Structure 1
Amino acid sequence: MNTNGHERRGTGVKGRGGQTVNTKHQTPNTREASNLKHQRRPEGLGAWSLVFLWCLVFGVWCLCSSCSGLHRVPSAAAAAAPVWPLAPDQPRIRYVRSIATPADIGSGPGRWKRVVNFFTGETTEEERFAKPFAVALDEAGNLCLADTGKNAVYYFDLAHKKWHRWTAAGKQAFAFPVAVACRKGVFYVADSELGKILAFGEDGREVLTIAAPLQRPAGLAFLGDSLIVADSQAQMVRIFDLAGHQKLQFGKRGLGPGEFNYPTHVGTDSQGHVLVTDSLNSRVQVFDSSGNFVAQIGGPGDAPGSFGRPKGVAADSFGHIYVVDALFDTVQVFDLSGRFLLPWGEGGTRPGQFGVPAGIAISQNNLIYVADSYNRRVQVFEYLGEQ
């Protein structure tokens, strides 16, 4: 108590054993030292947080590295890849892999980019196909693709694991690209909505536009230096030179040989034949390079060798003709005379199963690319040949 009878507060605190410790004259330095002792614990927690963060980043880095090839078929599993026909018959067709994003050809983001995407929530969904409809191959066997879901054209340099995507030819945006072909670094795109064929180079600059007399171009293929076009609305096939000048046309609407009911896809073979999918007549017609009728393949029905909704058509180096059926989710193989040889495929999402397949292209070494539209991928198969 002081002389005025008031308790002096803040002059001391009770220590151990009841002793009074004087704090009134404690110097500022002493107080700062005392405060620093209490601040050491947060510094320790910060260090542990930093260690934890680095461990988390490293773990995600490893996870992203290990997941980078999930869409690829491991080489060790190649022997177990699906084949058709099933044993005990000799296999003719083997599943190779699927392509749905650039990562599937080894052209995905780097490891650190995948780490950043993990923390930011970004995905490669914007790079995935939406509705791959048509496929084609250039002279080197690289893949071209028309995606009607994104109104875009893709090009995959498979050897160098590079890719490009275009949504326009020069200043002309694609409206509905349904077919693509590539020759000497120039990409030709049939846009059925615009009623034009747009050609552009690798830099995206427009090279050529083919409009009239086209009405609704639907399918493209090359035969030598000639561009074969299925003009669906005009019920005919047109043949142009590389300068865009029409050289030949053949066909009219009807049911007979050489007549069409909305032709949609075209292909060629090594013997110079033109293969035309006559969609609403449920058949494929074969012509020579002058437009003369040669043979008919298939017809309406649900038995093997018949078609429900025929789409893409292509030929391998042995002269076999492959026809995609979007209704039955199959690919059927024929010889040039129209004799049915082999089917494969069914509805589903597993390897060798399809969801409304459309276009098809076959390389010189008999790799078969099928646009599996509703499954948002391109499936790759291999013809095994005679063994």
Structure 2
Amino acid sequence: MPLLRMQNIHKAFAGNPVLCGVNFEVAAGEVHALLGENGAGKSTLIKILTGVHQKDAGEIWWEGRVVEINTPVDAMRLGIATIYQELNLVPHLTVYENLFLGQEVRRTKHLPFLNKAYMRRRAIECLRLLGQPLDPDAPVYALGIGQQQIVEIAKALVRDAKLIIMDEPTASLSEAEVEQLFTTIDALRAKGVAFVYITHRLEEIRRIGDRVTLLRDGQTIATHDAKRVPTHTIIEQMVGRKLEEKFPKKRFIRGAEGLRVENLKRKGAQHAVSFVAYQGEILGIAGLVGAGRTELARAIFGVDPVESGKIFVFGQEVHIRSPADAIRAGIAFITEDRKREGLFMDQPLP
């Protein structure tokens, strides 16, 4: 008997069908990958499962009985937790305070005093269960992205989650952090916790997935053994056509010089960096974690101080001492942490 079965799920918005009879099930202790192109219906299906949207038709079975999930609280009470790509943590609260946010434990029912000792002990238990000896008193802002994701998983354990939905969990993680996450998932899978794993990285499915279900145009196309299904089958069923070439050759004509960096040395760095990027070209900058890739971009944009070196834009030397200087020179910077460093979350779009 599966832990979860979603049967013949339909959903439309303003008369436009988004889900058309989707079937999806997850067993206890299984990592079930959910794949599909943008617009295939993955997000809508998950929002129905978590009570954000309500289905128009179909049934949801949970532990052998039909249930109605009308609100996120209904999903939480069943033991369904979601970890979104944008982590939902309060940076200036501690690890244990984040774990119990919204379900704080009181010393007694009649007095508004929190049982901090119990919450700290429970936080330590959950983190040890995950094999992550994080300090429960550490502020979340002091943790790396990978460690913050562990806190999100621990938060699900505190709520006794039986099914954890993970939406693009490795998008912002280094290779070491990805392996740490997979080790944690393996440990929880062995204890019977189920996962719905949403990703666009097909290589991850082989490593962590048990089964994979493919959606296209709001319909369930197929469910496969994740370890055995060929990659080309997944891609062809996702896009709905046969692919002749996975990486077709494209003709590229190099344009004029766009950006030239000469002997740029950041403050505190050991070595200077030089490179040239031409118009119409995508120039990749690679390196291990800590090699200075992000810091180089920040220095070019004027966020971090520079000791020496020159920057040329379209052949003209520019002097960049602040982001405002970089913007005036025609340079844009999409930050690694867009939510915290790239956007003003309380400001409107215009």
- TM-score with structure 1 length normalisation? 0.24
More helix, by proportion: 2
More strand, by proportion: 1
Which has the higher Rg, Structure 1 or Structure 2? 1
Higher relative contact order (CA 8 A, sep 6+): 2
